[in-house]
A and B are shown apart, each in its own frame.
Chain A
């Protein structure tokens, strides 16, 4: 599928990747999951993703740095930030730095799917969200 959305999911909590990968694949995305931000950055250098979903607080490198790197590499890529620390100031920072959206933990898989659908629309390749099998 040529219009399949390529998503990179980065969160140091392994369960997040484990659950969200099938959840997003069900709406027709191809998902690569990373726990280590450095490995994720390496992958981003190699491959162009449509959407990058990243946690903000991680060991080694934080989400803001990932955001900057992705922007530098590929400005087209939509970036969605995840954090357990739902603070307005943090959200504003992320948005100012060019994040597409911001999602606070804990969230439902559908919350992320909706944001991804919005991002896909913004990218010009809308996905059929209802195809998730719900």
Chain B
């Protein structure tokens, strides 16, 4: 059964053989219970394979899965949810960043062009005001000459006319720069000035005496003329000052726009890079840590957390696919390796099986031989012996088959001492054949751990088979259990006094395909598989050895806490 084992709800029924050995070491009284458990178990398995169990579906949505292997449905679901999100790729983020920078630059350019335009207009206006005021000044100079010497009146009229022309023509162009009231006033004054000059000219033509000769008559005109002249000049001057200030402001604004736009542009660029780098860098970092955890045997899929998907989602989906493959392969590898252990154990079982078979054979033959000469109760006794021995054979085989069965993994509360007693029982024949003695010492009241009993048993079978291989006849193997240093873990030492492991290869013993056993005897996968299983439980496995004086393998398993419960997210 590859799928989900969630439907094994009662842990005690999950491993009937195990219960059998631990609670009834002599195994005499549990035959009926055994059969029931077995059928129950089978029914469940059938249910699990043929019919889709609604409970299984429900559990698959719970991502804090309590199983070590077979996350298939989890992965499928995670894949779908990962892909269902709104697509916001890194590429899009780069595009958007660039577009924002471009739009900002374009906006700045437009503003600068408009500002420049304004500066230019003001410069032209200044030029115009300058021309205008110089014409007026000229006219005034001629006017002064006229009043002093009676000359240049024509020139004055010409200049003021020119000024009038400039003003009326150009002020149309710069109408937006001028105050309309001031403009009208200036225009009025120019016209008045021009009119006065015209009056003077007519007087001259009518032979009216020259102004210096008729002080009284012309005095009045002169005063008015001067007043207008001064006013016009003053207006031109003030217009010039105003425009100069405006020009300065425009130039200053242009400079400010340059400086601030560069600053803002830098900020936009920095922000964009920061967001982009942050997004890429932090995700890459997260992936690095996921990769590490996957390497250590944590095969849970990456789950969706963000509200959008991007290129990294594609990577996560690919990684999930990979996890699926590895998970399947590891499960197969573990089972394959288990079958090798079963092969080794079979030799012991075959031997062990010959004893009850021999007892049955002898009993039945003697019963046949002496059937008629025997009292009834003796015949009954012999038949009972046959039943007992048959039962014993069945248990021997069941023990091994139970270990060999490819079961779905299920997390349950495990008493390591019971587990190890069961394991040693499984290996009993092997141990007896090798002439090795085995001691189990566990400190009292050890906490139970949370784990997959079958997979853990496989770990200890591997360790014990290695210890048996390393030991010679008459030596002993010790299995010691105690609380870990911090009290949050249980430590099991498997100690042998065999040939030990040389220092230079000690670091490689957990590598896959590394073996010191003769060709054809070891796959080199036992310790590698064991390490994988222990890692999945959040535990560690360590080896200590001195050549010639034996080895000690320590398995440390956490009591409750499980690193598995924190999930991968993207």
Contact = CB atoms under 8 A, between A and B. Distances in A.
Contacts of B362: 15-16, 19-20, 23, 106-109
Contacts of B435: 62
B359 A84 contact: no
B496 interface: no
- Choose among B358, B360, B365, B433 the residue with the greatest number of A CB atoms under 10 Å from its CB: B358
A105 interface: yes
Interface stretch (B34-42, B287-295, B348-356, B561-569): B348-356
Given A22-B366, A85-B433, A106 B357 contact: yes
Contacts of B369: 23, 26, 109, 132-134
A110 B351 contact: no
A129 interface: no
A14 B34 CA distance: 26
B359 A15 contact: yes
Interface string A1-40: 0000000000001011001101100100000000000000
Interface residues of B, number: 22
Nearest to B385: A15
B446 to A, nearest CB: 29
A10 to B, nearest CB: 14
A107 B361 contact: yes
Judged by DSSP, the binding face of B is: helix
Nearest to B370: A22
Interface in B313-337: none
B363 to A, nearest CB: 6
B358 A107 contact: yes
B488 interface: no
Contacts of B355: 13, 84, 105
Interface residues of A, number: 25
B432 interface: yes
A106 B433 contact: no
- Choose among B352, B355, B370, B433 the residue with the greatest number of A CB atoms under 10 Å from its CB: B355
Contacts of A105: 354-355, 357-358
Nearest to B352: A84
B358 A84 contact: yes
Contacts of A19: 359, 362-363, 365-366
B389 interface: yes
B359 A108 contact: no
Nearest to A23: B366
Contacts of A110: 365
A127 to B, nearest CB: 17
Contact of B354 (A22, A23, A84): A84
B24 to A, nearest CB: 20
Given A84-B352, A85-B433, A109 B366 contact: yes
A109 B389 contact: no
Given A15-B363, A22-B366, A22-B370, A57 B432 contact: yes
B433 A16 contact: no
Interface string A98-130: 000000111111100000000000000000000
Contacts of A16: 358-359, 362
B366 A57 contact: no
B359 A57 contact: no
A59 B355 CA distance: 14
Interface of B: 350-355, 357-363, 365-366, 369-370, 385, 389, 432-433, 435
Given A15-B385, A105-B355, A107-B358, 17 more contacts: A15-B362, A16-B358, A19-B362, A19-B365, A23-B365, A84-B358, A85-B350, A85-B351, A85-B433, A105-B354, A105-B357, A105-B358, A106-B358, A106-B361, A106-B362, A109-B362, A132-B369
19 contacts: A15-B363, A16-B358, A83-B351, A84-B350, A84-B353, A84-B355, A84-B358, A85-B351, A104-B354, A105-B355, A106-B357, A106-B358, A106-B362, A107-B361, A108-B362, A109-B362, A109-B366, A132-B369, A134-B369
Q: Which 10 A-B pairs have the closest CB atoms?
A: A84-B354, A106-B358, A105-B358, A105-B354, A19-B362, A15-B359, A106-B357, A106-B361, A85-B351, A84-B351
